[in-house]
Amino acid sequence: MRTIRLKIIEKLFNWLLKPHEQVIAAQKVLYGKASLPEVQKEFERAFGVDQVRRTKKQWQNLVRVYGIETVMKIEKMTESAVRLKCAKFSDRLKEEFKMKSV
């Protein structure tokens, strides 16, 4: 019964709202449920816990969802540093080596 109800609500939700409005509504729902352990675990899996332990995929998720400007402000990093974090490991090592040698 509950799954049918949710499917009907989801169809109505998708039909009535424009794509950017759907994203805003979904983010508000997630923000309201942020204290739930399951939601927090999924958020940390997608975006990482902090700068040090974040993977390349998690950096890419952050930039994809929030935009590079927002990530730069929140993490207090330059654009080149954020782009380095999103790059492949070998490319990142090459760039870091170039920066140290200059």
In the chain, where are the structural domains located?
1-32, 37-102
pLDDT at site 78: 92
- Inter-residue contact 85 to 54 (CB < 8 Å): yes
Sequential pLDDT tens for the chain (102 residues): 568 887 887 788 778 877 777 777 777 777 777 778 887 888 889 888 888 899 999 999 999 988 899 899 989 999 989 998 998 888 888 887 887 776
For the whole model, what pTM was predicted? 0.63
Q: Which residue matches tokens 């993490």?
A: 75
pLDDT at site 2: 64
pLDDT at site 76: 92
Using the 8-state DSSP alphabet, how is residue 67 labeled? -
Residues 6+ apart with CB under 8 A from 62: 47, 48, 54, 71
